[in-house]
Amino acid sequence: MCTGKCSKFIGITLYPLAVLSILCNILLFFPGWSTQYAKNDSENSPRLTNEVKYMGGVIGGGIMVLIPAIHIHLTGKQGCCANRCGMFLSIGFAVLGVAGAMYSLGVAAAGMANGPVCSDSTGVWERPFANNSGSYLQNPGIWNTCIEPKDVVEFNVGLFSTLLVTSCLELILCGFQALNGLFGCLCGTCNNKSV
């Protein structure tokens, strides 16, 4: 496969992954599908996990991958970026995408390991699974410790695991584009007018 076509494929694939990362991170601000927890969140009385506020999906897996995706996609099209210089620049953009994907991956992994902020039967808001090193994931029987927001453990696990998978795919694609960009810089993009 020619390096230009490969870049085009990678760029197009990164778009939905970046959008999915952004959406997952935004949804994490609304546990139980309610806005009240985001409104009532404060440093003294947290209602949201810190990992949600770190914006790993918006900044890392979203913006830091979306910007490189645009350039990577352009290197696969006929025009100003479909040349050796454009492929050389795509290496730098791909490295930026790798850094963003790694940030998103780290934040999502920490969010999964520490679990959600929730209220127990006594009404105390805390992170009951934070000291369990992620072992709560293997024991769904203790998830009912969280009374409010309703089904917050499933909510967080679903969205953070989606962020984990998405950031892993972004990491692989951006890493592959760094290699593809190197080959494109050395050998050319092999694009022609019919592409």
Q: What is the pLDDT of residues 49-101, one digit of tens each?
A: 889 999 999 999 999 999 989 888 888 666 555 566 777 788 888 999 999 99
- Mean model confidence pLDDT for the chain: 85
Q: Confirm whether 192 is domain-assigned.
A: no
Tell me if 98 sits within 8 A of 105, measured CB to CB: no
**pLDDT at residue 1, rounded to an integer:** 56
At residue 64, the pLDDT reads: 93
Task: Quote the pLDDT of residue 127.
Answer: 85
The verdict on residue 104 lying in a domain is yes
Q: Mean per-residue pLDDT for 167-175?
A: 94
- Does residue 98 form part of some domain? yes
Calpha distance 139→137 (Å, rounded)? 6
- Please say if the pLDDT value at position 194 is more than 50: no
Written as one string, the DSSP assignment of 60-109 is IIIIHHHHHHHHHHHHTSSSTTSSHHHHHHHHHHHHHHHHHHHHHHHHHH
User: What is the total count of domains within the chain?
Assistant: 1
**pTM value?**
0.86
In a domain, 34, yes or no: yes
Q: Which structural domain range is residue 79 located in?
A: 3-187
